[in-house]
Structure 1
Amino acid sequence: MKLLRKLLFPFAVLYGLITSVRNFLFDTEILKSTSFDVPVIAVGNLSVGGTGKTPQIEYLIRLLSDKYKIATLSRGYKRQSEGFVLADATSNAAILGDEPFQFYQKFPNIQVAVDANRTNGITQLLSQKEKPQIILLDDAYQHRKVKAGFYILLTSYGDLYADDFMLPTGNLRESRSGANRANVVIVTKCPKDLSVEKQDEIGRKLNLNPSQELYFTFIDYDDFIVGQKEKVTVSEIKNEAKILLAGIAKPTPFFEYLKNETDECLTFPDHHHFSEADIETILEKAQGKKIITTEKDYVRLKDSKLISQLYYLPIKSTFSNSQENFDTSILKHVSDSEKQSFS
């Protein structure tokens, strides 16, 4: 695979040229972006693959939803619906996509919508009777037809965009210079004990503009797994024989947090739609044992025959440094946007 990617280097150069021209056209306003009167905060990345967008969106929801009416807008990757959909009691993971459905289930006091056309999605949200005061755009860093007021760029500790290259040779969707659009860059999935020296080293490598802020976060796993009817401490099940199941981009940390030498780890593609054959295979391998999965996979599996044995491990994004500064930056942007809309 690595050799093939190297052989595809000319296509990576061409792809980089195409995305650079596109960005230039938007930067010079030859191609138009639409702005909106409400604060729009975009969370995304330069690369394909998991950088922890879902935990970061959930962090913002927790930060803002006590004071403001919040809506999330996602593409709804691999959903079995089209156009604009606003989540309601009839929604499920197939209609919304797994991550938006997770938002809807965890945060009943917010609006959750999906639309591949983010401009239309925002317009539809703002036409609702109870329109949101803040819109969080999930995975929309390259969606330049909308001009967000605040951009949060995520990059994984083990796969920094500064060390990467354009698709298909590397994993970048656009060139590294795209990072210049970010107000904030967050290095995600860091070790919990990441030293200040290592943070400084990464900061020098990313070489951000003076106006940009840099933060570091790690994935904080819960002490409990959660099932349909009970919660069980991780310490209780750590040495118990079980099935660990993940259909996410980078499942290794999840497996390592829970597994022992007797466990079987089942890996599926990211955003996998589990077929009846998949369910039967999982049941056969489980043989009555607990099946522990990620929260994102749980929303796709909870209506299946696995439910009596199925548990998920909650996670959240936790800041290694300067959480208060990050919160202040977000709240200040929202406050400033409100003042501008009334002026």
Structure 2
Amino acid sequence: MNLIRNIAFPFVPVYYAVSSLRNTLYDLGIKKSTSYNFPIICVGNLSVGGTGKTPMIEYLINLLKDDYKVATLSRGYKRKTKGFQLADAFSSAESLGDEPFQFYNKFKKDVFVSVDANRTNGIEQLLLLENSPEVILLDDAFQHRKVKAGLNILLTTYANPYVSDYVLPTGNLREPRSGAKRANIIVVTKCPETISVIEKQSFLEKISPTKNQHVFFSSISYSEDVVSEENKKSINALTNFTLVTGIANAKPLVNFLKNKNLQFEHLNFKDHHEFSEQDISVLETKEFIVTTEKDFMRLKQYNTLKAKLFYLTITVTIDDSVMFDRLIKTFVTS
């Protein structure tokens, strides 16, 4: 893969020019963005791959759901349906996509969970609902500039910041680094839990935020238990299990488990992997399976796996959560 990306380097200027031109047309108003008179918060990134958008959306849901009618609107990556879909009791990972289905399973009636590749149409459909939402969270929509969000939250990982990356196809950036200027808030995700003030300052010098941008540092922590739909087990009591991952970067999870001196085999699939009949046949031979919450949403439909299928939850911690929460709530109420 690295060889192919290096070979593709001559195409980088072409991708850069096209994506820059597109942004310029939106900046000049030649291409139109639709604004709305109620709070819309966009959570996204400049790069492909896992920067922690799903945990951030869940953080915002938890922050706002008790005071506002909240909706999430996602593209619904790799779903089997088309157009606008609103989650209900008959929904599945196939009809919504794994991450929106995770939102629905976790929050049920607390939020509207919807998907539509056309975010403008998705917003219009949400507004037609009885008891329509007061706040909409756009999931992975930083490049979807047909909608002008009132607040843009940009995520970048501590290990692979956008300032050290290149645009596709050689790098992982969907657009040039200059796109970060559209962000109101930048959250550096997946930081070491022990990150120091000096390390934060060094990172800030790398990304050089504008004076109007707020930067926060966040880390993830893993639960001490694995859970299924009906049971819970202490992670320290597990022996010789199978870890199944279909996420962008499984390394932090693997390291967490190894640091606990747990014995396990790791079946590592690509992000948003669609499990085949052959995959399920292999998993049926395993005695105990631990997976991520996102992968659990795709696997729990298989009755042959239910008794042995568990997932490990994560919690997001933001370094100055008081300030972060205040910024979000101030925007929503303004």
| TM-score, normalised by the number of residues in structure 2 | 0.97
**Structure-2 separation of matches of 1:96 and 1:292:** 23
Asked whether 1:256 is paired with 2:255, we answer yes
User: SS at the partner of 2:153?
Assistant: strand
Say which is worse superposed, 23-32 or 218-227, in terms of deviation: 218-227
| 1:56-95 alignment, distance < 5 Å | 56-95=56-95
Deviation of the 1:242 alpha carbon? 0.4
Instruction: Return the alpha-carbon distance in structure 2 between the equivalents of residues 138 and 229 of structure 1.
Output: 29
Please give the alpha-carbon distance, in whole angstroms, between the structure 2 residues aligned to 1:38 and 1:121. Answer: 15
How far, CA to CA, are the matches of 2:243 and 2:7 in structure 1?
36
Q: Which amino acid aligns with 2:309?
A: L
| Greater Cα shift, 225-234 or 243-252 | 225-234
Q: Write the distance in 1 (CA, Å) between the matches of 2:322 and 2:59.
A: 13
Matches of residues 1-343 of structure 1 in structure 2 within 5 Å?
Answer: 1-108=1-108, 109-237=110-238, 240-259=239-258, 260=261, 262-284=263-285, 286=286, 288=287, 290-304=288-302, 305-319=304-318, 321-336=319-334
- Matched to 2:233, the amino acid is V
- CA shift, 1:257, in A, is 1.6
Could you tell me which residue of structure 2 aligns to residue 341 of structure 1?
A: none
Distance in 2 between the 1:86 and 1:232 partners? 33
- Larger deviation, residues 135-144 vs 254-263: 254-263
**How far 1:276 moved relative to its partner?**
1.7
User: What whole-Å deviation, never above 9, does each CA across 1:35-77 have from its counterpart, x for those lacking one?
Assistant: 1122000000000000000000000000000100000000000
Instruction: In structure 2, list runs of 5 or more residues that go unmatched.
Output: none
**What is the DSSP-based 3-state SS (H/G/I as helix, E as strand, rest coil) of the residue aligned with 2:294?**
helix
Give per-residue Cα distances to partners, 1:248-278, cap 9 Å, x unaligned.
0101111222244631000111111112211
Aligned length in residues: 330
SS where residue 80 of structure 1 aligns? Answer: coil
RMSD: 1.0
Q: Take 1:112 and 1:228, find their aligned partners in 2: how far apart are those partners?
A: 20
1:282 offset after TM fit, Å?
1.7
- The alpha carbon displacement at 1:228 in A equals 2.8
Query: SS at the partner of 1:11?
Result: helix
Conserved? CA contact 1:43–1:151, under 8 Å: yes
> Structure 1 vs Structure 2: percent identity of aligned residues?
52
Contact (CA 8 Å) 1:33, 1:144: kept in 2 or not?
Answer: yes
Q: Distance in 2 between matches of 1:282 and 1:223?
A: 24
Q: Partner of 2:168: helix, strand, or coil? A: coil
Q: How many Å separate the matches in 2 of 1:254 and 1:297?
A: 13
Question: CA 1:261–1:65 in 2, change beyond 3 Å: closer, same or farther?
Answer: closer
